[in-house]
Chain A
Amino acid sequence: MGIKIVPRYGKSFKDKLYLPAIFAGMKTTMSHFAKNLSDTSNIKTECYPEMKPQDITQRYRGVHRLTHRDDGSVRCVACFMCATACPADCIFIEGKERRDGIDEKMPAVFKIDLLECVFCGGCVEACPCDAIRMDTGIFSFVAKRRKDFVLDKEQLLAHKSFEGEK
Chain B
Amino acid sequence: MATITVDGKEIYANDNALLIEELLANGINIPHFCYHPSLGKDGNCRMCMVEIEGKKRPQIACDTPVKDGMIIRTKGENIARVKRQILELELINHPVDCPICDQAGECSLQNYYMDVGLYDSRLDTAKNKKRKHVDLGANVMLDQDRCVLCTRCVRFTKNITKTHELGVVVRNDHSYISTFPGTKLSNPYAMNVIDLCPVGALTSKDFRFHQRVWFLKPEVAICDGCSRGCSLLVDHNKEKYKDDVVYRYRPKFNKNVNGYFICDYGRLSYKKENENRLLNAYIRGMESEFEYAILKIERLLKRYGPKTLFLVSPTLSLEEIYRVRTLAHKLDAAINGFDDNFDEDFKDDMLRQSDKTPNRKTLKFLAINDSKEDLLRDLKGKEFVLLIGRDDIQIIKEMGYDGSIGVMNYRDFKEKEKIDIVIPIVSHTSRQGTFINCDNYMQFSSCEIQKNIQALKVLEFVETILNDGRVTCEDVWEGGLEDEEFLGDIKFTQIKSNSMKIGR
A and B associate:
yes
Rounded to whole angstroms, the CA-CA distance of A91 and B215 in the bound complex is 14
Tell me, rounded to whole Å, the shortest Cβ–Cβ distance linking B434 to chain A: 37
Rounded to whole angstroms, the CA-CA distance of A152 and B208 in the bound complex is 23
**Residue contact B240 to A79, C-beta cutoff 8 Å:** no
Query: Could you give, for residues 126-161 of chain A, a 1 whenever the CB lies within 8 Å of some chain B CB and a 0 otherwise?
Result: 001100000000000000000000000000000000
Contacts of A36 in B (CB 8 A): none
Task: Verify if B367 is at the interface (C-beta below 8 Å from A).
Answer: no
Contacts of B133 in A (CB 8 A): 104
Contacts of A89 in B (CB 8 A): 240
Rounded to whole angstroms, the CA-CA distance of A95 and B99 in the bound complex is 12
**Residue of A with least CB distance to B209:** A95
**Residue contact B209 to A105, C-beta cutoff 8 Å:** yes
Rounded to whole angstroms, the CA-CA distance of A97 and B203 in the bound complex is 13
Contacts of B98 in A (CB 8 A): 79, 128
Task: Verify if A123 is at the interface (C-beta below 8 Å from B).
Answer: no
Task: Verify if B132 is at the interface (C-beta below 8 Å from A).
Answer: yes
**Residue contact B99 to A84, C-beta cutoff 8 Å:** no
**Number of chain A interface residues as a range:** 10 to 19
Rounded to whole angstroms, the CA-CA distance of A42 and B210 in the bound complex is 58
Tell me, rounded to whole Å, the shortest Cβ–Cβ distance linking A50 to chain B: 39
**Residue contact A80 to B212, C-beta cutoff 8 Å:** yes
Contacts of B214 in A (CB 8 A): 84
**Residue contact A78 to B209, C-beta cutoff 8 Å:** yes
Kindly list the 5 A-B residue pairs having the minimum CB-CB distance in the complex, ordered from nearest.
A79-B99, A95-B209, A105-B100, A80-B212, A77-B100
Rounded to whole angstroms, the CA-CA distance of A103 and B101 in the bound complex is 11
- Residue pairs across A and B with CB atoms within 8 Å: the count is 34
Task: Verify if A118 is at the interface (C-beta below 8 Å from B).
Answer: no
* A residues 83-142 in Cβ contact with B at 8 Å: 84, 89, 92, 95-97, 103-105, 128-129
Tell me, rounded to whole Å, the shortest Cβ–Cβ distance linking B216 to chain A: 12
Rounded to whole angstroms, the CA-CA distance of A81 and B214 in the bound complex is 11
Query: Could you give, for residues 245-272 of chain B, a 1 whenever the CB lies within 8 Å of some chain A CB and a 0 otherwise?
Result: 0000000000000000000000000000
* B residues 194-213 in Cβ contact with A at 8 Å: 208-210, 212
Rounded to whole angstroms, the CA-CA distance of A116 and B134 in the bound complex is 41
Rounded to whole angstroms, the CA-CA distance of A17 and B320 in the bound complex is 82
**Residue contact A104 to B132, C-beta cutoff 8 Å:** yes
Rounded to whole angstroms, the CA-CA distance of A116 and B311 in the bound complex is 51
**Residue contact B209 to A92, C-beta cutoff 8 Å:** no
* A residues 24-82 in Cβ contact with B at 8 Å: 77-81
**Residue contact A103 to B212, C-beta cutoff 8 Å:** no
Tell me, rounded to whole Å, the shortest Cβ–Cβ distance linking A102 to chain B: 12
Tell me, rounded to whole Å, the shortest Cβ–Cβ distance linking A42 to chain B: 50
**Residue of B with least CB distance to A103:** B100
**Residue contact B209 to A96, C-beta cutoff 8 Å:** yes
Query: Could you give, for residues 206-243 of chain B, a 1 whenever the CB lies within 8 Å of some chain A CB and a 0 otherwise?
Result: 00111010110000000000000000000000011100
* B residues 86-120 in Cβ contact with A at 8 Å: 97-100, 104
**Number of chain B interface residues as a range:** 10 to 19
**Residue contact A97 to B208, C-beta cutoff 8 Å:** yes
B99, B132, B215, B239: most-surrounded residue (chain A CB, <10 A)? B99
Tell me, rounded to whole Å, the shortest Cβ–Cβ distance linking B491 to chain A: 42
**Residue of B with least CB distance to A80:** B212
**Residue contact A95 to B240, C-beta cutoff 8 Å:** no
Contacts of A84 in B (CB 8 A): 212, 214-215
Q: Other CB < 8 Å A-B pairs besides A80-B212, A96-B209, A105-B100, 20 of them?
A: A77-B99, A78-B100, A78-B209, A79-B98, A79-B99, A79-B100, A79-B212, A80-B215, A84-B214, A84-B215, A92-B239, A92-B240, A92-B241, A95-B209, A95-B210, A104-B97, A104-B132, A104-B133, A128-B98, A129-B99
Rounded to whole angstroms, the CA-CA distance of A122 and B306 in the bound complex is 66
Contacts of B132 in A (CB 8 A): 104
**Residue contact A104 to B100, C-beta cutoff 8 Å:** yes
**Residue of B with least CB distance to A91:** B240
Contacts of A80 in B (CB 8 A): 212, 215
Tell me, rounded to whole Å, the shortest Cβ–Cβ distance linking A92 to chain B: 7
Contacts of A97 in B (CB 8 A): 208-209
A84, A92, A103, A105: most-surrounded residue (chain B CB, <10 A)? A105
Contacts of A95 in B (CB 8 A): 209-210
Rounded to whole angstroms, the CA-CA distance of A157 and B462 in the bound complex is 56
**Residue contact B240 to A128, C-beta cutoff 8 Å:** no
Rounded to whole angstroms, the CA-CA distance of A121 and B208 in the bound complex is 29
Rounded to whole angstroms, the CA-CA distance of A81 and B101 in the bound complex is 12
**Residue of A with least CB distance to B212:** A80
Contacts of A92 in B (CB 8 A): 239-241
* B residues 132-172 in Cβ contact with A at 8 Å: 132-133
**Residue of B with least CB distance to A116:** B240
Rounded to whole angstroms, the CA-CA distance of A105 and B104 in the bound complex is 14
* B residues 60-105 in Cβ contact with A at 8 Å: 97-100, 104
Tell me, rounded to whole Å, the shortest Cβ–Cβ distance linking A52 to chain B: 35
Tell me, rounded to whole Å, the shortest Cβ–Cβ distance linking A95 to chain B: 4
Contacts of B212 in A (CB 8 A): 79-80, 84
Rounded to whole angstroms, the CA-CA distance of A92 and B240 in the bound complex is 8
Rounded to whole angstroms, the CA-CA distance of A109 and B249 in the bound complex is 25
Rounded to whole angstroms, the CA-CA distance of A84 and B215 in the bound complex is 8
Choose from B97, B99, B209, B240 the contact partner of A81 (Cβ within 8 Å): B99
Could you name 18 residue pairs across A and B whose Cβ atoms are closer than 8 Å? A77-B100, A78-B100, A79-B99, A79-B100, A80-B212, A80-B215, A84-B212, A84-B215, A89-B240, A92-B241, A95-B209, A95-B210, A97-B209, A103-B100, A104-B97, A104-B100, A105-B209, A129-B99
